[in-house]
Structure 1
Amino acid sequence: MNNKVIFILSGIGVAIGLTAAYFSGVEKKPLPPVFNPAPNPYAQGIFANGMVESLQNSGENINIYPEVTGVVSQILVTEGQAVSKGTPLLTLDDSVQKATTLQLKAQADAALVMLEELKHQPRKEVLEVSKAQMLVAKANLLSAQVQLDKQKMSFALNPQSVSRDTLDNQLNAVKVAEANFQLAARQYELTKAGAWHYDIETQQKQYQIQYQNYMAANALLEKYTLKARSDGVILAISAAVGSYLSPQGVYGSYTQDMHPVLVMGSVADQLAVRCYIDEILVPKLPATAKMQAKMFIRGTNTSVPLAFVRIQPYISPKIQLSNQKTERVDVRVLPILFRIEKPADLNVYPGQLVDVYVGEK
């Protein structure tokens, strides 16, 4: 009985093993791809990674950094908004700089008032006082001289009528009165002549210094408002009200590095693709007159023809587009810029990664 059970169980085990071996040997059909890989549309096409960006006459997107440090007090634009050159984009708290500017302006105004005062000397009232002082001194001199003449005449008639000491004192009084008159006369002439030209020139320099200090402070005050330096579209805003900004930009909480405060591009319907050709493939590039390219949108079967714009004639180290600060490989690339002939129903945005094939017409 036991042998029979063992035989049956052995047969079942063999059948299970054969069945498992059969099914494991059957080749499984691969799942169909979600989208077809980008095909090479050219006979000798060169593949390149590309990134969509706004079309610029030179350079790339416009990264805006503040020239001063401060806390964001107001954001005046939104992402995707078209702006013209000179449009205020963002303001920083400028209370301290504004107070400093007003103080320097007050100092410059005070220096200007003092300069005008020197230029308009002599003041009529001051000149009249100086003239009156001169006339008083002249009258005192005449009075002292009359007293001296009387005493001399009395002494000549009767030497006992006036003492020699009194006569000497009166003579000295005349000399003092004459000196006072000469001093008052010179003071009158000095007042009448007005301010010395050296004093005016010195005050002119002082005013210019104060005014330049004010202008410098006012220019610095204007930098607390970030403005658009060209026509374009706001692509990204990295700051928020209350964020602390420095000339290095704004600190990214997630990436833990510094970012530009705002990024601007050209008008929305002008897009370009910057593709990077490996240096070993550069000799195989066709002439620019014959160069054409096609862009493939990742994750779709959509392709878009590209129009050649220019070559950036500088081969630089290749940086992985997904993380420009940390990923670098030992390959150098040549950037080539193409313009997108964008269909109306195509959703493409700056910063988007695409596959590019470069070929010959």
Structure 2
Amino acid sequence: MRRNIILTYVLPALALAGLVAGIVYASRTSAPPAPVPPVADPAAPPYEKYISGSGIVEAASRDVGVATPTSGVIVEIPVTVGDAVRKGDLLFRLDDRERKAALAEQKAALVVARAKVVEARVALEKARADAARVRSLRDGRAVSAEEAAQRGYAEETARAALASATADVTQAEAAARAIEVDLDRLCVRAPMDATVLQVNVSEGEYATAGALSTPLVMLGDVTRLHVRVDIDENIAWRYRAGMPATVFLRGNRDFSAPLRFVRVEPYVLPKTSLTGDTTERVDIRVLQVLYAFDTRDMAAYVGQQVDVYFDDTGRDAAAGAKQPGRKDGNKGGSATAARSGAAGVAPSAPFGPSGQSGQSGHSAWPVQSVRPAQAGESAALPEVVVPVRDARARTNGKDAARGVGVRG
């Protein structure tokens, strides 16, 4: 009896409870996580129409990564982060004991070479005197012809020895200067007046020559700051050089400053400056523009991320200003419009230079609409306006319509 009760009621109840528990657990674990509120409220766009981009603060001179032309162990770093340096100031020095020893050896060789020059000069004077004495004898029989020739050969040999010794001195001096240049290259100096932004090495570390992903020392002129803004390539067509812009500091939207246009870097390149947003796309290319701002308007640090908004409200006004003066072959347009209005043809609004309400860069055919004749008007066919063809059709020798109305 008990066994039947267990089989009939208890086991199905346990199975049902397990099923319900599994469904509840699955629903809780599969639910999307609650959105994390932002650390600070984002800045509100200051313009009615705008485009935006993320930017990074950089020195006006760009952030200059200083490298070493030769590898070696660093033995001295006289600067620290934040120091103001002048052009030519020492930033760090590599171990120069080996090159100093080579320079001392080369200077000793130079002393020997100069001594040989003196010796060769004396030998030349002696040979020249002997040859002159032989030539000064009145009686040619006093010295044999062979001996006179030997004296002349000795003078020429001494002259060549002096020239060789002089060349050895020149070569030794050049070698000494080359070692001095190597010694100077071991002392890495500031290429400009700047502030030390980073020091990524310590005394005793081995510095590798060439360009590094992390520079040994980074410099920058922080007396003037720029903002390098990345504009997504999908909206880059809306940007115009010199657009008014405002920068907002991330983390506190109350800190903002007007920007002054510097330049556009027209080469669109892959995006490298990341904001850290989990929804950020990294597989895009960006147009980079540079703006400057006054540090008195907004205090910022080099490398700090900012948000930039560009004023795009002037685009529609600029597009509308171009419409009255358009010269696309629609000559006599006002007269045609007058005739079309009288005949029941209402011209549509012209297209702007850019797609939706002036947002595409392609010109379009003027579109005419025809309404039926009203009471009291002529029942004849309405006047149809033939649009003017573009300049390319005219250059191809095709007949171009004059834009006048013709009866259907």
For the superposition of Structure 1 and Structure 2, which TM-score range results when normalised by the shorter chain?
0.5 to 0.7
SS at match of 2:259: strand
**CA–CA separation in structure 2 for the residues paired with 1:308 and 1:115:** 66
2:309 is aligned with 1:357: yes
Q: By how many angstroms is 1:115 displaced?
A: 3.0
Q: What is the alpha-carbon distance in structure 1 between the residues aligned to residue 170 and residue 40 of structure 2?
A: 71
Q: Deviations over 1:121-180 (max 9, x none)?
A: 4456x889x79xx9xxxxxx99xxxxxxxxxxxxxxxxxxxxxxxxxxxxxxxxxxx8xx
Aligned equivalent of 1:285:
239
Partner SS for 2:267: coil
* Structure-2 change in CA distance of 1:244 and 1:192 (3 Å): closer
Q: Which residues in structure 2 correspond to 1:124-163 (within 5 Å)? A: none
2:301 aligned partner, one-letter code: Y
| Structure with the larger helix share | 1
Q: TM-score, normalised by structure 2?
A: 0.58
The residue that corresponds to 1:81 in the other structure is 83
For 1:214, the equivalent position in structure 2 comes to 176
Q: Which has the higher contact order (CA 8 A, sep 6+)?
A: 1
Quote the residue 1:107 is aligned against.
109
1:79-114, Cα deviation, whole Å (9 max, x unpaired): 111111111111111101111122223323432332
Gaps of 5+ in 2: 1-34, 135-140, 315-408
Letter in 1 for 2:304: Q
Q: Distance in 2 between matches of 1:120 and 1:71?
A: 48
CA distance in 2, matches of 1:94, 1:294: 51
Distance 1:273 1:262 in 2: 22
The structural deviation recorded for 1:76 is 1.2
Q: CA deviation at 1:119?
A: 3.7
Distance, in Å, in 2 between the alignment partners of 1:61 and 1:275 is 15
> Does the CA contact (< 8 Å) of 2:241 and 2:263 recur in 1?
no
Q: Structure 1: how far apart are the matches of 2:45 and 2:249?
A: 14
Q: Give the total of aligned pairs.
A: 268
Q: Deviations over 1:171-229 (max 9, x none)?
A: xxxxxxx8xx77766665656678224x3443343333333222222211111100011
Equivalent residue, structure 2, for 1:68: 70
SS in 2 for 1:113: helix
Partner of 1:348 in structure 2? 300
Structure 1, unaligned runs of 5 or more = 1-29, 135-140, 143-177, 251-257
Give the counterpart of 1:261 among 216, 222, 230: 216
In the alignment, is residue 38 of structure 1 matched against residue 55 of structure 2? no
Fraction of identical pairs, as percent: 31
Quick one: distance in 1 between partners of 2:37 and 2:268? Answer: 39
Q: Provide the C-alpha distance between the structure 2 equivalents of 1:305 and 1:113, rounded to a whole number of angstroms.
A: 72
Query: What is the RMSD computed on CA atoms of the aligned residues?
Result: 3.3
Match status 1:331 vs 2:284 = yes
* 1:53–1:351 CA contact under 8 A, matched in 2: yes
Q: Residue type of the partner of 1:51? A: I
